Structure formats: structure tokens, C-alpha cells
Amino acid sequence: MNIDSPDSNATIGVDLHGLDDPEGFVPDDAFREGTRTRARALTRRRRAVLGAAGVATILLVTVVGYGGYQKWRSSQVVRLDLAANLDPPESESPPDPGLDPPPAPSQAQNILIVGSDQAMPGEGREQITDVNTDTMMIVRADPGTGTIGVLSLPRDLWVDIPGHGQERINTAWETGGPALLIETIKANFDIPVNHFLQVDGGGFQRLVDQAGGSDVWVAGELADENTGFAAAGPGCVHLDGAQALALVRSRHLEFNDPARGWIEDPASDLGRIQRQQLMGRVLAASLLDQDLGISAADELLDTLIDNAAIDNTWAIRDMAGLLFWAQGLDLDTSLTTATPPVRSGWAGQASVLFLDEATADPVLSLFRPSVAPPPGPTDPGGAGTTEVPAPTTTTTVATAPTGVAAEWVQAGPPEGGTC
């Protein structure tokens, strides 16, 4: 090695040829396997680091994206401008709900639910009154008592319709839609209405199918040629969405009595209400028993978008909070149904139902807010409040006999148990 020259361009005499392996290096199998093992270990470490970062990124994008997706989907729900007619409770939602669980309701609220017998019109629901109403009910959810009460209103009930005189209550819907129906309920029953929900038959059918169907007990062979319902018993039967819809729409249900042949339910619309309340209980129990995860919630939102309309004051977040609250209830003890006591009669040539005012007030009061009692000997300041009693199942008073039709369809066998 010659390094004497100070010239920077001088060649450093380094002979590297002697360092070469004259025979060259030939890797053997052990060397190759070791190299592959080290490469695989390095690749796994790199994948683990990149994978962890990737999963975290995907989760973040999914959560944020799903929140945005749900917000966009919620904007597709058809809303009706009913703010001037409703008594909306204070919103439970914070200004920026984010992704936190929706809050449970903190106060009692009444929800008017209307079921229509036909598919609802298209986007905008401009012709919402073109469909007939098979169902009108007020659902009171009371977190104070941990109860849900359901008050069904017969569509032939004779009432005062504000600005239109006396007529059947379903005439309020046909004349002025949900706004006039709400005003009619408030004027005749002194019951506040906080929110409104309309669901068509297709929506009910989808809910039943989403719940996996509904199981009921039937006393024998039943049929209704008008709706297409048919079932054979005695025993438990499983109804899909189409069959369940045919049952709740049935106003002329018939029972094949072995001794007398086919007998029609003499209660007509009151009998249908009874079956609607039964199916509502069975369906609610099935839906609330589900794990309301992202998939199930998205299905419910689909039904709400395609088959329903709600008032413009009801936040989807508050609706979800109500649903999650209801999941914590035992519906066997906390859910009760009622029908206003009525008597049948005539208004001109029309067969109608009149409210039995002598016995109706205790029933209707269950759906009214509690009030502070006047000052008394034990409450000089008048600061106490009366508790609204828990709703109780109410027997409908009517001149038309109910026969045994109430026993034709039940939630479970008469001897006890469930289907």
C-alpha cells in the first residue's frame, strides 16, 4: 500500500484482488433457510407495526364515518311540521351529541302513533291524508314510574272536531291530517301530545320480520277473507310480517266453531283494537329483546326512512334514547294497554261509539301529567305532588257483545306459559 504521495489526485495503491475468494461464495441450504427465517421475522414485525396503525386508522375512520353516515341517513327521515300543534318536551340531546350513547328520557312524554293501511306516498309525504288510519294510539313513556301505557282510540269514536263540528275521530285525519287529529285529541281528552309517528303497513311488516316473526296462541281455525289472515289451532303459531299485518288489520275475524260453524267476532273494530294491542305487546317484547347494535339500528332507521313520518321536533337521538330506556323494562309488568270506555249508538244513520264520560276520566287521567295538590292540613305549603297511578288494563264498555273473541288469539296458552 503506497500512501507517500501528497498529491490529492494520486492513486492510493490498494490491491483488493487478494481479498477475493478465488472460488466465489456459494450459499448452502442452511444459509438460505436462515436468511428466509430472518426475513420472515422482520416482515412480521413490520406487518405488526403497520397493521396496528392500520387497524387504529380504519377504526377511527369507520366510527367517524359511521357517525357521519348516520347523520346523513337521519336527514332522510320524512318530517312533518307539527311544532305549532305539539307540546314537545325539552330535548334530551346536548348541542353536540357526538358519538356518546343517547340519553334516556328524564320526563314523561305522550307519543301519538298512527298506523295506515296502505303504503305511504313517496318522498315528502305530501298526500299523507290519502291513506286510511287503521290504528290511533297514544303511548305514554314515563321514566318516573318506569312504565309504558298504551291508549287505543277507536276510529268510530264520536268527538268534537275543532272548527268542523261533531264527527268520527278518523274524520279529523281525513279532513286536516295529523295537525287536526292532534288538536282533536287535546280538545276532547285533555291529553297533551308531545310527539307524532306514522307507520304504514309495510313498516309494521318489516318490524315483525326484523324481530324474527311473532308467536301467538290461537284457539282454533281462524280466518279473515278481507285481510287474508288464516291460522289453525289450537296451539301456538308463528306469524311472519305479512301474516301479522293481516291479523292486526282484521276487523271481521272468524272462528270455526266445531258445533256452530264459522262465527264472526261481534266486537268489530274494538276486537281489532284488542288484537292490535296484543300484537304490539308481542312485537315490542321481541324487538326490545334484540341486541340493538349498528346493524339492527340501521335496519330500524331504514324502516323509519321508507315507511314512516315523524314530527319535526323529535330528534333521532332522543328517539334512540327512549328505545334504549325501554330495553331495561320488564314489559310483563311495566306495559299496560287501555281503551276508553265507550258505548255504541247512532249519529243519524251512522253507527258510532260514544265516550262513556262517567267512567272515562280515570282512564284518561293516566295519560295526563301529574299536578300539585292544593294546600291541606298535612301539606300547608302545597309543595307536594300527587303521583300518577300506574296504568291498568281497562275493559271496554260497549253494547255490542264481545263473546269469546278475546280468547281466540292470545300471547300464550290459556293454562299459562308463553309461545
Q: Is residue 194 part of a domain?
A: yes
Q: Is residue 27 part of a domain?
A: no
Residues 6+ apart with CB under 8 A from 212: 286
Q: How many CB atoms are located within 10 Å of the residue 253 CB?
A: 24
Range of the domain at 164: 76-91+98-371+385-410
pLDDT tens track of the chain, all 419 residues? 444 444 444 444 444 344 344 444 455 666 556 655 655 555 544 444 444 444 444 333 433 444 566 677 778 888 999 999 999 775 555 544 454 667 788 899 999 999 986 655 444 444 455 567 879 999 999 999 999 999 999 999 999 999 999 999 999 998 999 999 999 999 999 999 999 999 999 999 999 999 999 999 999 999 999 999 999 999 999 999 999 999 999 999 999 999 999 999 999 889 999 999 999 999 999 888 877 777 787 888 899 999 999 999 998 888 888 998 999 999 999 999 999 999 999 998 889 999 998 899 999 999 998 744 344 433 333 333 333 333 333 333 333 334 478 899 999 998 888 88
Place of cell 321481541: 286
CA distance 38 to 36: 6
Q: How many domains is the chain partitioned into structurally?
A: 1
> Which one, of 89, 120, 82, lies nearest residue 103 by Cα?
89
> Which one, of 173, 102, 155, 129, lies nearest residue 322 by Cα?
102
Q: What's at 36, amino acid-wise?
A: R
Q: Is residue 134 part of a domain?
A: yes
Residues 6+ apart with CB under 8 A from 106: 92, 143
> Which one, of 366, 344, 202, 206, lies nearest residue 271 by Cα?
344
Q: Is residue 18 part of a domain?
A: no
Q: Is residue 1 part of a domain?
A: no
- Domain containing 108 — which CATH number? 3.40.630.190
Q: Is residue 276 part of a domain?
A: yes
| Burial class of residue 31, CB neighbours in 10 A (0-12, 13-18, 19+) | exposed
Q: Cα torsion at 59, 65, 71, 76 (round to 10°)?
A: -120
pLDDT, position 90? 59
Q: Is residue 162 part of a domain?
A: yes
Q: Is residue 169 part of a domain?
A: yes
